[in-house]
Amino acid sequence: MQIDSLIIREVELNDLESLRQISIQTFTETFSEHNTESNMKEYITECLNTDKLKQELQTIGSSFYFALLGQQIIGYLKLNTAKAQTEHHSEDGFEIERIYVLKAFHGKQIGKILFEKAKSIALEKQYKTIWLGVWEKNTKAIAFYTRQGFTQFDHHLFKLGNDKQTDILMELKIN
Ligand SMILES: CC(C)(COP(=O)(O)OP(=O)(O)OC[C@H]1O[C@@H](n2cnc3c(N)ncnc32)[C@H](O)[C@@H]1OP(=O)(O)O)[C@@H](O)C(=O)NCCC(=O)NCCS
């Protein structure tokens, strides 16, 4: 694989179906091992459907980016600012809500390139801190974020289907 040819570009409304597909594939690859089939199905049906993703794409303060190798979408990023943040730690917070890379491409610096994209946008817009929430059992992602310099500052509860889970909240000062 030639990482040099990786392109990061913003997702547009006419990419909706591609966004839905990469969202479902990466979510399934990441979480089906540790969650029941019915909870997975419920989340995918309720949260990764066309209407919901369209709404997210149109939300002021949210933006999505694809990582592309040629025509193939191999990962994506979702960022939130201002009222689009999933939690309002501060009005001037900058949230990475999702970084997902297809399993076949893990460990090839794609996640880091997506993170660097997020960081450059945050710096350009003069944010001081990037924050995110990550499932406590997602040890790989926690290791990845720790490698990027994030540290835990809090936690919160969320539900996947009928399963109550804990997210670790992490932050990185960038300015
Ligand atoms: C987490 C994820 C985005 C990381 O992306 P990736 O492309 O596999 O990671 P990279 O190759 O860019 O790794 C960047 C650095 O993090 C380190 N790293 C990545 N995964 C790691 C792991 N599981 N354990 C320890 N270090 C890890 C790498 O060693 C690398 O270090 P380096 O800069 O010294 O070389 C990717 O594994 C993924 O999509 N996982 C599933 C989705 C997910 O869990 N997303 C987060 C939930 S919001």
Query: Closest residue (by CA) to atom 44 of ligand 1?
Result: 141
Question: Could you tell me which residue, 72 or 91, shows the higher pLDDT?
Answer: 72
pLDDT at residue 3 in the model: 78
User: Ligand 1, residues 144, 145, 158: which to mutate, most atoms within 8 A of Cβ?
Assistant: 144
CA-wise closest residue to 3 among 147, 112, 111, 108:
108
Percent of the chain predicted with pLDDT > 70:
99
Query: Closest residue (by CA) to atom 5 of ligand 1?
Result: 111
String of DSSP letters for 24-44: HHHHHHHHGGGS-HHHHHHHH
Domain covering 3-173, topology: Aminopeptidase (3.40.630)
What is the distance between the alpha carbons of residues 38 and 123, in angstroms, rounded to a whole number? Answer: 40
Strand stretches in the chain, DSSP E: 6-10, 62-69, 72-81, 94-101, 129-135, 151-160, 163-173
pLDDT at residue 160 in the model: 81
30 pLDDT exceeds 80? yes
Tokens of 33: 């091992």
What is the distance between the alpha carbons of residues 81 and 119, in angstroms, rounded to a whole number? Answer: 13
1 pLDDT exceeds 80? no
Categorize the per-residue pLDDT at 53 as very low, low, confident or very high, splitting at 50, 70 and 90: very high
2 pLDDT exceeds 90? no
DSSP symbol at 167: E
What is the distance between the alpha carbons of residues 5 and 110, in angstroms, rounded to a whole number? Answer: 11
pLDDT at residue 162 in the model: 85
CA of 111 to the centre of ligand 1 (A): 6
Average pLDDT over residues 4-21: 96
Helix (H, G, I), strand (E, B) or coil at 124: helix
89 pLDDT exceeds 80? no
Is the Cβ atom of 103 under 6 angstroms away from ligand 1?
Answer: no
CA of 147 to the centre of ligand 1 (A): 8
pLDDT at residue 120 in the model: 98
Categorize the per-residue pLDDT at 4 as very low, low, confident or very high, splitting at 50, 70 and 90: confident
Reply yes or no on whether 43 is catalytic: no
